[in-house]
Structure 1
Amino acid sequence: MGRKAKHHYIPKCYLKEFTIGGEDTSPFWCVPINNNTPFQTSPNDACAKRDYYTVQHSNSLIVEDWYAEEIEPKIKKGILHIKEHSSLPPKEEMPYLFLLLATLYLRVPSFRNLIESPLKRTREITNSIAQDIKIRNKSEFEYDQTDIIMSELRLIDTVQTCLSNKYFQLHVIDDTKSNVVTSDSPFILSHPNSSNGYCFGLNTPMVEICVPITKHAIIIARNEKITEGSFKATEQLIGLTNTKVILSADRFFYSTNSEILLVNDNLSTHKHKISTKKDVTPA
């Protein structure tokens, strides 16, 4: 057997909940945000990159294996409860949901780029200065993929703790003809002042977290107190979530159906056709 080189940055156990068949091989629509032609793929081949979690270690797959063997089983429990009971997990099982959300927030390429950007800029400045001035500790400004992955791992507990202090709502879609989409960056942070270049983070007042959990379930979380529990998702919330997911996607978004709900600037809903082909069929 060859070395496991294709690493998922979003777990297959999450992605398969947006297919019809609900399996790793079940198809769903993959829509490039650069307006290229949509195509059908499966969780096996979505949100994965070659050697994404390969590190400098005697076991180069130690992080990839840890995610697969230690983290994904816990994530599955959180998804399964929501899927089977259409409710938030009980208090003792909420850490499974926090872990899922932390995974969707931290592991995606867009967040890795966020970590790497200042490191890359610092290295560029150091290399530029070194052309004229001898820098004795120049090597200390170097980094590799292992360093970035270690930063990600150190943040997992911090993000989970942060999430545990928020108020949560689960919005369930009971119309089988409607579905929410997901993407390669499905953890969405929004803020009323974001259009003005306002910088915000997980603990910023008035920030809202919106994450599609399955094709029929949406998580909303806020720092300010809101009525927690499970609610029927409105058509407007479905359309707004889909619009947010698409606008926040890095390269692709994924949908069970070829027709999805979106919202206009005035938040009125309309249906958008991804493709003129028929919907994907169960695996």
Structure 2
Amino acid sequence: MAARKHHYVPQCYLKLFSVSHKKIPQLTVFDRERKKVYKAGIDNVAAQRDFNAIDVEGMDADAFEKSMSGFETELADALQRVVVARSLANEEDRAFLLNLVGLTAMRNPRLRETIRSGHEQVARLIMDQVLSSKEMYESQVKKVREAGGLPESNKTSYEEMKRFVEGGQYELTLDNTFQVGQEMRVFDKILPLIFQRGWILLRAPENSGGFITSDHPFCLFWTDPKRRGGFYSPGLGLRGTEIRFTISPRLALVGAFELKNGDVDVSEESVAGVNGGVIALAEAQVYARDQNFHYAMQPDEPLQKASRLITDKRFLLHRGEEE
């Protein structure tokens, strides 16, 4: 029987931020929507029913999910080697990690909803044009019917359709197969932009509360803090932008076109700043090994304890820059 719960953030990645617990490793979850902190298995977070399901003739609905599982098996080994080595010297492991960065950038519910709502806006504009007059509507219906896109039994009148559209009580949905295909096509386009950046591996102090992650671990910011939160969002191909991606409680990545590859030991203040970015761009949940981490949402603010997060209005009411 095909699995229906599909993870858009791989479990092998989430496991690095977890603690052992019976059969399933557990995370400490800070949930914006439920306004509470609780423990959850890595199998029960960052997942959505049939997220990877496809409808292609001659293929199983879970064919793409199975192909992702194959990639994640190799990814798990690569991530473990990076964590143990505390280095990106192994080019193959580095490539797996950067592929994960790209996949989390393009394959997530937030971006799917952005694409869906964009199509819906276009569809509403088209319908407004089609319904601008009865003659226009009937002309378009005739063309669609002649093309085989509308059965003869459908006799919806201009007046009925106009009332329905103006009522606004409908939502456009996109076929999941289309979404998956679109994501992978765009992924192929953006992956070179990720590899072209210089990447610095950040290593947290041994006594640090460590890095955290979320249900949207890909974080893209303007490098200049003054540009963040403005009208223009950062883009993957733009200079003056940086990608932040936490790997484990002890390791994180920063990537920018202006950087050279390297690694650096960072302070607890720097760890807190990275965590602040993770929190700002989380969709609904932040994940950590425990409640011992610190965060800072602004460059000049004092370190905040994890225990404050679930009551921090900036987490509860605000999501930062979109990708």
TM-score for both structures, normalised by structure 1: 0.87
Contact 1:240-1:267 at 8 Å conserved across structures: no
Give how far 1:3 is off. 3.0
Change (3 A) 1:6 1:268: same
Which residue number corresponds to residue 197 of structure 1? Answer: 231
Which residue number corresponds to residue 175 of structure 2? Answer: 144
Task: Give deviations 1:22-49, integer Å, cap 9, x for gaps.
Answer: 9971111111123611111011111111
Is 2:259 the counterpart of 1:258?
no
TM superposition outliers: structure 1 runs of 4+ over 6 Å: none
Give the AA of the match of 2:200. Q
Which residue number corresponds to residue 169 of structure 2? Answer: none
Change (3 A) 1:273 1:233: same
State the distance in 2 between where 1:213 and 1:197 align: 30
Give the AA of the match of 2:129. I
Give the AA of the match of 1:162. L
Report matched runs for 1:1-283 at 5 Å: 2-21=1-20, 25-34=24-33, 36-57=35-56, 58-69=59-70, 71-131=71-131, 132=133, 133-134=136-137, 135=140, 136=143, 143-191=174-222, 192=224, 193-226=227-260, 228-263=261-296, 265=298, 266-273=300-307
Change (3 A) 1:20 1:53: same
Change (3 A) 1:63 1:195: same
Q: Which structure has the highest helix share of the two?
A: 2
Give how far 1:177 is off. 4.9
Give the AA of the match of 2:255. A
Give how far 1:92 is off. 4.3
Listed as ranges, the gaps of 5+ residues in structure 2 are 150-171, 311-323
Structure with the greater alpha carbon radius of gyration: 2
Give how far 1:160 is off. 1.7
SS in 1 for 2:98: helix
Contact 2:116-2:173 at 8 Å conserved across structures: no
State the distance in 1 between where 2:21 and 2:114 align: 32
SS in 1 for 2:192: helix
Which residue number corresponds to residue 279 of structure 1? Answer: none
SS in 2 for 1:245: helix
Give how far 1:268 is off. 3.2
TM-score for both structures, normalised by structure 2: 0.77
State the distance in 2 between where 1:23 and 1:105 align: 32
Listed as ranges, the gaps of 5+ residues in structure 1 are 277-283
Contact 2:199-2:259 at 8 Å conserved across structures: no
Contact 1:239-1:269 at 8 Å conserved across structures: yes
Aligned residues: 272
Give the AA of the match of 2:76. K
State the distance in 1 between where 2:306 and 2:284 align: 19
State the distance in 2 between where 1:4 and 1:34 align: 26
Contact 1:7-1:51 at 8 Å conserved across structures: yes
State the distance in 1 between where 2:116 and 2:126 align: 15
Task: Give deviations 1:38-72, integer Å, cap 9, x for gaps.
Answer: 11101111111111111112411111111112x21
Contact 1:240-1:263 at 8 Å conserved across structures: yes
Change (3 A) 1:22 1:214: farther
